[in-house]
């Protein structure tokens, strides 16, 4: 498939997905609720996307180490974070392996973290951390959407930026055509009761977020492979 068609599909997918889920929510709410439930298709797709992203980030960390130690550190941290998020999504296999959650995850056991809203074997469902996740998503969305614009503005103001610097910056600035994968995270700015937001709505948003990260890391991996290939040719 030609590059321009791939990019077009990547750009329009969030629109098609969003419209389909809106139609499903409006006409078949029971089906919508089911696919968005825990241990159903959307959550498992999130798990596999975050896990795939963690593996991609690890691979990139290994390969970028030959170019920049800073990038290696960034992608190692990202990989660890993505592995953590992936297994948090499935409560570290609690329901898969029929594990009984330790008492520490029961309501009120850790007063500083507040109640565990689902009494599951994960950290993000503790009330204090649960509230922070929404704020973290807003920060991530803002960075993912505007970092590329800021980088472009920086290049226009400072015209003597080295190509190597631009190349390295491209690994930490998601391209503008991925905006629609991250913008839905702003749902966390809305009041759940006022706008009638359901838990399944958040799951759909997180699915797009996970897919956006995977696509970005695929782009990064392809970029580093091409760079190393060209560098190898230059040494011959």
Q: What pTM did the predictor assign?
A: 0.88
pLDDT exceeds 60 at position 234: no
- The predicted structure's pLDDT at residue 231: 74
- The predicted structure's pLDDT at residue 179: 96
pLDDT exceeds 70 at position 26: yes
Contact assessment for residue 36 and residue 204, using Cβ atoms and an 8 Å cutoff: yes
Residue-wise pLDDT for 54-98, tens only, equals 999 999 999 987 788 999 999 999 999 999 899 888 876 666 666
What pLDDT band is residue 30 in, cutting at 50, 70 and 90? very high
- The predicted structure's pLDDT at residue 123: 63
Q: What is the DSSP string of 23-63?
A: HHHHH-HHHHHHHTSTTSHHHHHHHHHHHHHHHHHHHHHHH
Distance between CA atoms of residues 67 and 212, nearest Å: 25
Number of residues that make up the chain? 236
Check the CA dihedral 204-205-211-215 and report its sign. positive
Computed on alpha carbons and rounded to an integer, the radius of gyration of the chain in Å comes to 20
- The predicted structure's pLDDT at residue 87: 86
Distance between CA atoms of residues 133 and 188, nearest Å: 9
Percent of the chain with pLDDT over 70: 81
Q: Where are the domains of the chain?
A: 3-234
CA neighbor of 64 nearest in space, from 228, 233, 232: 228
Residue-wise pLDDT for 167-203, tens only, equals 899 999 999 999 999 999 999 999 888 989 998 999 9
């Amino acid at each position: 498939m030609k590059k321009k068609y791939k990019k077009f599909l990547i750009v329009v997918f969030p629109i098609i997905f969003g419209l389909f889920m809106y139609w499903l929510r409006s006409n078949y709410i029971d089906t919508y609720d089911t696919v968005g439930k825990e241990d159903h298709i959307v959550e498992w797709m999130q798990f596999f996307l975050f896990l795939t992203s963690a593996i991609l980030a690890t691979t990139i960390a290994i390969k970028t180490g030959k170019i920049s130690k800073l990038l290696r550190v960034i992608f190692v941290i990202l990989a660890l974070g993505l592995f953590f998020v992936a297994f948090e999504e499935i409560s570290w296999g609690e329901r898969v392996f029929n594990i009984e959650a330790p008492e520490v995850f029961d309501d009120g056991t850790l007063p500083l973290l507040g109640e565990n809203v689902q009494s599951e074997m994960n950290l993000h469902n503790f009330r204090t951390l649960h509230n922070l996740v929404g704020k973290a998503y807003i920060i991530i969305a803002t960075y993912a959407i505007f970092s590329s614009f800021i980088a472009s503005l920086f290049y226009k103001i400072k015209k003597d930026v080295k190509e190597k610097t631009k190349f390295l910056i491209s690994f930490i600035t998601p391209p503008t055509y991925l905006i629609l994968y991250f913008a839905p995270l702003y749902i966390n700015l809305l009041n759940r009761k006022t706008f009638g937001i359901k838990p399944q709505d958040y799951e759909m948003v997180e699915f797009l977020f996970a897919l956006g990260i995977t696509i970005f890391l695929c782009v990064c991996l392809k970029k580093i492979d091409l760079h190393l290939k060209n560098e190898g040719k230059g040494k011959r």
